[in-house]
Structure 1
Amino acid sequence: MTVATRIPPEAEAVPRTLRVAFAGGNGLPPEDSGGVQSSTDDLARRLLARGDAPAVLAPLYGQGVFGLRARARLKLAREPFAEDRHLGYPAFRTWFPAEAVGVFAHRTRPDVAVVQCRGSVPIARAFRAAGVPVVLYLRNVEFTELDGDPSRAGAAAYIANSRFTAATYREAFGIEAHVIPPTVDPSRFAVETDGSAVLFINPVAEKGLDRALSIAAACPEIPFLFVESWVLSPAARAALLRRIAPLPNVAFERRKADVRDAFRRARFLLAPGVWREAWGRVASEAQCSGLPVIGSDRGGLPEAIGPGGVVLSAEAPLADWVAEVRRLWSDPASHAALSAAARAHAARPEMDPDRQFATFRAILAQAAG
């Protein structure tokens, strides 16, 4: 297995320009947001800065002002997608990405396609049928989302976003993947913090909403800030606000265009996830500002937290979580030590964005031939 800190020799000199397609079944901003979108956007922008030509094929949801306008453009288009440059590079939005691959590949003529997340297997096969080499980016361990066996997708190479993800796919499918953690550029996330609240980002069930609410209820003297990440439906948001209402120490805010606004007010990050998350990008982002993380032992989250926080069993008694929250809130020495460890963990070589990108692009260039 190749890890991000061991750059392949070909990464040192890959002279030619690459046309790179990103494709998958996850939406793009402003219709969708999350770790996948943030990581893809960072890679696309780095490719642009190097002189390469990225383009993204993604599903259209058709909701909101942006989505309705895209739907209108799609109706008038002679192709199965609506093109825009909302993100600063070409994005092609379509109802069914796998069915649009052939036309998309003919239009953009990519040297290599990076296929990821929902619908990966049929999308990868469609690119192979169009004569485009594929690198399959394994970003989660929800196998059913892939719509097939990834070992039979015809990929030239595989990238996993954590050792946990790589090990899971190796055990299930015999796949050997390069490991490149999500790119988190400290210059985009590091801020001075005032330590005025415990921060919980993405208040949904998978991220440990029940546990977070229980902790907040048990610590009425500590202010908590819950911030939306995955866009909540009006019904889901109303249900959340009803649950928060009896807790005067909990504030809720809608999704931030710039997450640093939330980080500025945090003393540490709470991440009590209950699903097998492949990494835990928000933990890495928070640590850039010296914010320790109290998180669960599920999936790749412990890798993301490392020594820069506290890892507890997802099944640990509530009292254990409350004790750690109160310790980090009220013990300056403990907080200072973990804050320093968080900064150091965020700055480790494996997380260096330039090294990660060099490895990523070398893998693409090798796959492109």
Structure 2
Amino acid sequence: MTASDLISFARGAPSLDIIDVEGLKAATDAALTEDPGGALGYGTAIGYPKLRKLLADRHGVAEEQVLVTNGSMQADAFLFDQLVVSGEPVVVERPTYDRTLLGLRERGAVVTPVSLATDGIDVDELAAALDGGLRPTFAHVIPNFQNPAGYTLSLAKRQRLLELAEQHDFIIFEDDPYVSIRFAGEPLPTMLELDGGKGRVVYASSFSKTVAPGVRIGYLVGPADLIAKVRVRATNTYISPNMFAQAVIYQFAASGGLDRSVAKVNAALAERVATLCSALEKHLPEAKFTAPEGGYFMWVELPEGVDVAQLLTAAEERGVTFVKGTDFLLEGGRSSLRMAYSGVRDDQIEEGVSRLADALKSLGVAAG
């Protein structure tokens, strides 16, 4: 079996067939025609000024509150460098993005997981921990179509989380790269919006999920004094981010290409989620999952006794892969997995789930 035969539910990236290649070609031409100096020069650490202004207008903040970076992971890293205090607690969701865990632990944070329900982080559990003396420097939350679970934080929990941040004096890091990838349900206000300029929320997002991962453009929105400090770190790291890519994305957004791209991605992913749910019900009836309303990922729980590490080996022998649930937790997750449907064509999904079911059967685990 060759690499091209592999059906991958592992990578959180859009497949090439739903990326607007022609629109990006046109945006590239526009960037080089209208502002070749800005697109091809060094620039400064704030990012491409026109894109920065577009983002400030989108979020209803001053430009000084926005910093455009090389991908949202770079934004996360700068923020962690600024906020993490070695030996001090940081709240995360359980499970959460594996790179978040890695970045926090590398900087010496005491990672403090709080349970995640289908409507978001357990605010009652968090409140009890805070009442018991927990004093986090910040809480990292992925509010929309969470990675890896695919769950969305409810409006009531968003409001409660803000109340807790106010009462116990910590920052909410609203990590929101999937916010535009909604194909069911109603959009919810961000905690940045709900905060009303009080400075309790630092917001991050990205164009990697809505346009293409190769553009590597993310950004931070937060209090001007904090963004100014992060800007110094960015300047000392790379002088300026990728101005060419940012100029292209500015033109893509200004021309309406971004809105068209998001609509195309959302329509495709809605079909893929429906196909994935149907395939799981057919081939893996023992699996438990909640269909997401957007994003790239779905969390799947298999019967107790399944070891996903063994399952992954058996699955890859059959030409299908995924990410183990244990990668997203400090402990637990032995029978869980994350399935990314974004990079798998609709016509590959049932075959991939069928191979996964065959792999599970080979382990001799009875259906739940």
- Say yes or no: TM over 0.5: no
TM-score by length of 1: 0.35
- Higher RCO by CA contacts (8 Å cutoff, separation 6 or greater): 2
TM-score by length of 2: 0.35
